[in-house]
Amino acid sequence: MMHRFTWAVLCCLMLGCAVAKHKKEARKKPVVFMGDSITQGWQALMPEFFAGKPYVNKGIGGQTTRQMLARFQADVLDLHPHAVVILGGTNDIAGLGGDMPVDSIFRNIVAMAGMASAKGIKVVLCSVIPAYEYACCKTVKPVPLIAALNEKISRYCREEGIPFVDYFPVLADEKRGLAPVLTGDGVHPNRAGYEKMRPLLEKAIARSYQ
């Protein structure tokens, strides 16, 4: 009986060591930030958020989710990261890639999430941040479109058990645009905006290691 008990304890210890080793190795692998200028600007305005961490910024200004999807293999999957943080869609809504319905934007985001999940990469999806209007495209009314896309992303995350980072409550003003103190152009966060976003994303990334 004592022999069985000792063996059981040893097995538990060995399993615990294996799990701890796996978690330690996971923290050495990259966390890729896939996005547009909002992702790109984060490293420019808050470099200390990335310093000393295995964070890889793959934000490219002006890109739509269609373009992000086209480079997802090279910029994310080929890096064999622990996790990918996906934030995109505002350029699609602005019409930079031509007319793009919300359902099509959503399908591009889901396609990226599915590609990552199929490779065992953890996925973190982010809400599109608020915008009341676009300086480049005054005829576009983004508020209801952003709300519709964010609802689809949020629902998908709940159904799939994927962390959803909802930036909207901490960034939006009474017009459901980006609060003036958090932006210089109504679309991109300034440093104060990224400060609001940071703890939400840190919490989601931490959850990916659990």
Q: Which of the residues in the chain have pLDDT under 70? A: 1-27
What's the confidence (pLDDT) of residue 28?
75
What's the confidence (pLDDT) of residue 96?
92
pTM for the full predicted model: 0.87
What's the confidence (pLDDT) of residue 27?
61
| Residue-wise pLDDT tens digits, 126-161 | 999 999 999 888 899 999 999 999 999 999 999 999
182-188: list long-range contacts, CB under 8 Å, 24+ apart: 185/135, 186/131, 186/132, 186/133, 186/134, 186/135, 187/90, 187/131, 187/134, 187/135, 188/37, 188/38, 188/41
- Note the helical H segments in 119-182: 142-160, 168-171
What's the confidence (pLDDT) of residue 35?
98
Residue 54 · residue 37 · CB < 8 Å: no
What's the confidence (pLDDT) of residue 138?
84
Q: How far apart are CA 80 and CA 82, in angstroms?
A: 7
83 phi, psi to nearest 5 deg: -150, 160
- Provide the residue count of the chain: 210
128 phi, psi to nearest 5 deg: -70, 135
What's the confidence (pLDDT) of residue 14?
52
What's the confidence (pLDDT) of residue 97?
86
What's the confidence (pLDDT) of residue 4?
55
